[in-house]
């Protein structure tokens, strides 16, 4: 898989902070990958997300060393329009993702493509397409600020998709949502076009398991584990930092009671647990 | 051209009322020029002129279906102003023509001056109400975009209108949270004044934090990355409207400029 985004030995410290939040972090993400970067709170997820999305460096916020590049070009070499068409970022707080310049959902999604000065027909095509993908067509004429948190987050993703980016960076996209909205959003993200590179930064294991096929653990300002869900989520460092999935925790209880082999990896999802136990899922 | 107002989001903070009248269908820049002409006329016309213009604007508001909303605002604003002008200019300011009217001394020239100011303000307010009740800000932004006005100016117009409700909601949330923590907002004026910093500091801090996020969102969506934006659902325009705008602007300038030249 060809490398798309490369982070080279990135060391970054906020002004007045004693220690760097990112400390020699290196990472390569390939085109079309679905990557979950897991980390506990205050480990630098949002900072890394902003670097990956090209929002940093910004003014006085500069790296002490290293850089982030897309297709071999440092972000500082990209102009605003070029970068916006290549990568999109969706943050944690839904209402903060709105442009503040659109009176309807339709206009909010069209805001970015209009800024790129695309032909009107192309703007309409992109907006319609994004509304279908994110299930927003019935809300097209609503005021974005009156939507629920889940709907606003779907709107943010639709607005990002309308830019036709190659990479979508999602910083804890479900953290401010109720369980129903969270499951709904995960299902929507899961349906996004296959060629799109998705980077999800999460503290919660459940959404990451549903969205990614490559998992990285961010700890102490560096990537300390990189692999499949089974490799990373059963890693003691990951368990120490994030805890276990509820299924793995239950199976660990069985293991401690002697009902599960101690040398066998713990299942992470219900489907894996069923398969490991040889239980058939009753349907209908 | 189909109405632009059919698919508008209704925001309580906007005075705009959807409709199909000639003012609703007019290009927003034409409505803006009409507003400018009325404002300049209100500055130079005598009391009879401003009264006539105000009545005409009220009649237009009634015809265009925005009369109820516009009149309500006009009354709410003008009644206190009228009372204040009567008291200050009719009763309080010392003039030569004070005459006894029962227990009070009243000045006819003071009342005349008060009426002139009152009608001038009423005329300006009615013109503005007519504009904001028949022109949706989204259409105004599109019209400005169409004319190549920098996107930043459009943003300055739109964002206060859009953000006022979330901001109010947040202020309410902070107030409720502080009350739960024991803040007393029902005591004396002194106690209420002392409580203000506890309400304002988090509100301002959060607003500043929002600014940073909003700047990132705008940059991420390529705001101002190109000299011109695409305009979708552009407001209709015509040669006639272009000439009407030119005429209104010319009249506005002449109305204001000729009296100045006359004085020179």
pLDDT tens digit sequence for B226-264 = 888 999 988 999 999 999 999 999 999 999 888 777 765
Give the separation between CA A130 and CA A188, rounded to whole angstroms. Answer: 11
Closest residue in chain B to residue A159, using alpha carbons only: B221
Chain A residue numbers touching B159 (CB-CB < 8 A)? 100-101
Residue B175 shares a structural domain with residue B245: no
Alpha carbon separation from A143 to A99, A151, B165 (Å, rounded):
12, 11, 11
**B138 and A81: CB-CB below 8 Å?**
no
pLDDT, position B1: 36
**What value does the mean pLDDT take over residues A3-10?**
92
The fold of the A31-43+78-276 domain, in CATH, is Rossmann fold (3.40.50)
Chain B residue numbers touching A113 (CB-CB < 8 A)? 230
Residue showing tokens 């934090």: B209
* Cα angle for residues B75, B81, B82 (degrees, 5° grid): 80
Identify residues of A whose CB sits under 8 angstroms from chain B CBs: 50, 53, 55, 79-81, 84-85, 88-89, 91, 93, 95-104, 106-107, 110-120, 123-124, 140-143, 145, 159-160, 163
Residues A57/A22, Cβ–Cβ less than 8 Å: no
pLDDT level of residue B64 (50, 70, 90 thresholds): very high
- For the whole model, what pTM was predicted? 0.80
Residue B191 shares a structural domain with residue B239: no
B13 interfacial to chain A (CB closer than 8 Å) = no
Give the model confidence (pLDDT) of A101-122 as tens digits: 888 999 999 999 999 999 999 9
Of B221, B222, B232, the CB nearest to A120: B232
Of A97, A103, A114, the CB nearest to B217: A97
Give the separation between CA B244 and CA B250, rounded to whole angstroms. Answer: 10
Q: What is the DSSP letter of A94?
A: G
Of B136, B222, B232, the CB nearest to A112: B222
**B110 Cβ contact list (under 8 Å, min separation 6):** B89, B90, B91, B93, B95, B97
Name the residue with higher pLDDT: B214 or A237: B214
Among A150-164, A205-219, B14-28, B70-84, top mean pLDDT goes to B70-84
Average per-residue pLDDT for chain A: 85
Chain A residue numbers touching B216 (CB-CB < 8 A)? 50, 55, 89, 91
Give the separation between CA A49 and CA A199, rounded to whole angstroms. Answer: 9
pLDDT, position A244: 63
- Hey, which bits of chain B come out as E strands? 98-101, 104-107
Give the model confidence (pLDDT) of B183-195 as tens digits: 877 778 888 888 8
Residue B124 shares a structural domain with residue B26: yes
Residues A140/A106, Cβ–Cβ less than 8 Å: yes
**A81 and B7: CB-CB below 8 Å?**
no
Task: Quote the number of domains for chain B.
Answer: 2
Burial class (CB in 10 A: 0-12, 13-18, 19+), A233: buried
ipTM: 0.80
pLDDT reading at A284 higher than 50: no
Alpha carbon separation from B155 to A174, B44, B141, B263 (Å, rounded):
29, 33, 8, 40
Alpha carbon separation from A141 to A103, A131, B261 (Å, rounded):
8, 12, 51
Q: Which domain holds residue B244?
A: 17-135+234-263
**B224 and A98: CB-CB below 8 Å?**
no
Chain B residue numbers touching A107 (CB-CB < 8 A)? 138
Q: CB atoms < 10 A from the CB of A173, how many?
A: 28
Least confident of A51-65, A153-167, B122-136: A51-65
Torsion A125-A126-A131-A133 (CA) sign: positive
**A103 and B8: CB-CB below 8 Å?**
yes
Count of H-run helices and E-run strands, chain A: 11, 10
Chain B residue numbers touching A85 (CB-CB < 8 A)? 222
Residue B229 lies in a domain: no
Give the model confidence (pLDDT) of A208-230 as tens digits: 777 888 999 898 899 988 888 87
Chain A residue numbers touching B162 (CB-CB < 8 A)? 100-103, 145
**B225 and A99: CB-CB below 8 Å?**
no
pLDDT, position A61: 86
**A117 and B214: CB-CB below 8 Å?**
no
Give the separation between CA B94 and CA A110, rounded to whole angstroms. Answer: 61
B216 interfacial to chain A (CB closer than 8 Å) = yes
Residue B164 lies in a domain: yes
Dihedral angle over CA of B162, A116, A173, B206, nearest 10: -40
pLDDT, position B21: 93
pLDDT reading at B28 higher than 70: yes
Least confident of A9-18, A241-250, B93-102: A241-250
Nearest to B252 by CA among B33, B54, B58, B52: B33
Burial B161-187 (b: 16+ CB within 10 A, else e): bbbebbeeebbeebbeebeeeebeeee
Chain B residue numbers touching A159 (CB-CB < 8 A)? 221
pLDDT, position B31: 95
Chain B residue numbers touching A140 (CB-CB < 8 A)? 7
pLDDT, position B180: 87
Residue B9 lies in a domain: no
**A169 Cβ contact list (under 8 Å, min separation 6):** A49, A52, A53, A87, A88, A89, A90, A199, A201
Chain A residue numbers touching B229 (CB-CB < 8 A)? 114-115, 117
Q: Show the tokens assigned to A262.
A: 């101690």
Chain A residue numbers touching B231 (CB-CB < 8 A)? 114, 120
Omega of the bond leading into A89 within 30 degrees of 0 (cis): no
Residue B67 shares a structural domain with residue B176: no
pLDDT reading at A12 higher than 90: yes
Chosen for mutation from B6, B9, B166 (greatest number of chain A CBs closer than 10 Å) is B9
B186 interfacial to chain A (CB closer than 8 Å) = no
Closest residue in chain B to residue A57, using alpha carbons only: B216
| Strand pairing class (A22-30; A73-74) | unpaired
Residue B34 shares a structural domain with residue B112: yes
**A101 and B210: CB-CB below 8 Å?**
no
Domain segments of chain A: what residues? Answer: 31-43+78-276
Nearest-Cα distance to chain A for B2, in Å, is 16
pLDDT level of residue A186 (50, 70, 90 thresholds): confident
Of A80, A100, A107, the CB nearest to B219: A80
Nearest-Cα distance to chain B for A19, in Å, is 23
Q: Show the tokens assigned to A6.
A: 């490369």
Contacts 24+ apart (CB under 8 A), A223-226: A223/A25, A223/A26, A223/A27, A223/A37
């Amino acid at each position: 898989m060809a490398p798309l985004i490369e982070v080279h030995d990135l060391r970054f410290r906020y002004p007045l902070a004693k220690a760097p939040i990112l400390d020699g972090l290196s990472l390569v993400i390939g085109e079309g990958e679905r990557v979950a970067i897991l980390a506990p709170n205050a480990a630098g997820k949002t900072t890394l997300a902003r670097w990956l999305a090209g929002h940093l460096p910004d003014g006085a916020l500069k790296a002490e060393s290293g850089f982030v590049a897309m297709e071999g070009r440092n972000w500082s070499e990209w102009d605003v329009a070029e970068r916006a068409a290549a990568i999109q970022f969706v943050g944690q707080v839904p209402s903060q993702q709105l442009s503040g310049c659109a009176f309807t959902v339709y206009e909010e999604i069209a805001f970015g493509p209009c800024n790129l000065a695309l032909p009107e027909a192309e703007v309409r095509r992109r907006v319609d397409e994004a509304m279908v993908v994110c299930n927003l067509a019935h809300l097209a004429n609503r005021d974005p600020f009156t939507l629920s948190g889940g709907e606003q987050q779907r709107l943010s993703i639709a607005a990002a998709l309308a830019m036709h980016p190659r990479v979508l960076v999602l910083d804890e996209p479900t953290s401010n949502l109720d369980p129903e909205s969270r499951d709904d959003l995960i299902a929507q993200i899961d349906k996004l076009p296959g060629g799109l590179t998705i980077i999800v930064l999460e503290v919660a294991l459940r959404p990451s398991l549903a969205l990614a096929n490559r998992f990285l653990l961010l700890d102490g300002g560096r990537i300390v584990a990189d692999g499949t869900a089974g490799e990373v989520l059963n890693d003691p460092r990951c368990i120490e930092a994030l805890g276990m999935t509820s299924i793995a925790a239950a199976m660990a209880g069985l293991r401690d009671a002697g009902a599960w082999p101690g040398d066998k990896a713990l299942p992470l999802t219900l489907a894996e647990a069923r398969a490991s136990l040889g239980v058939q899922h009753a349907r209908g | 051209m189909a109405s632009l107002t059919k698919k508008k989001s209704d925001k309580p903070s906007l005075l705009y009322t959807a409709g199909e009248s000639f003012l609703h269908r007019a290009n927003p820049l034409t409505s803006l020029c009409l507003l400018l002409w009325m404002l300049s006329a209100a500055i130079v016309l005598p009391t009879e002129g401003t009264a006539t213009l105000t009545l005409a604007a009220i009649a237009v508001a009634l015809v265009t279906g925005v009369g109820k909303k516009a009149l309500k605002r006009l009354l709410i604003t003008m009644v206190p102003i009228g009372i204040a002008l009567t008291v200050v200019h009719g009763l309080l300011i010392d003039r030569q023509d004070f005459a006894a009217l029962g227990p009070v001394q009243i000045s006819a020239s003071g009342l005349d001056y008060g009426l002139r100011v009152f009608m001038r303000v009423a005329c300006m307010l009615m013109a503005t109400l007519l504009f904001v009740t028949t022109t949706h800000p989204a259409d105004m932004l599109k019209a400005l975009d169409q004319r190549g006005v920098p996107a930043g100016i459009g943003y300055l117009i739109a964002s206060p209108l859009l953000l006022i409700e979330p901001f109010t909601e947040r202020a309410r949330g902070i107030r409720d949270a502080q009350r739960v923590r024991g803040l007393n907002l029902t005591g004396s004026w002194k106690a209420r004044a002392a409580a203000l910093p506890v309400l304002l500091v988090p509100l301002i801090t959060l607003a500043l934090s929002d600014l940073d996020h909003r700047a990132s969102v705008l940059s991420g969506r390529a705001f101002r990355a190109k000299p011109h934006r695409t305009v979708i659902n552009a407001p209709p325009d015509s040669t006639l409207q272009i000439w009407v705008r030119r005429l209104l602007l010319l009249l506005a300038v002449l109305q204001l400029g000729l009296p100045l030249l006359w004085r020179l």
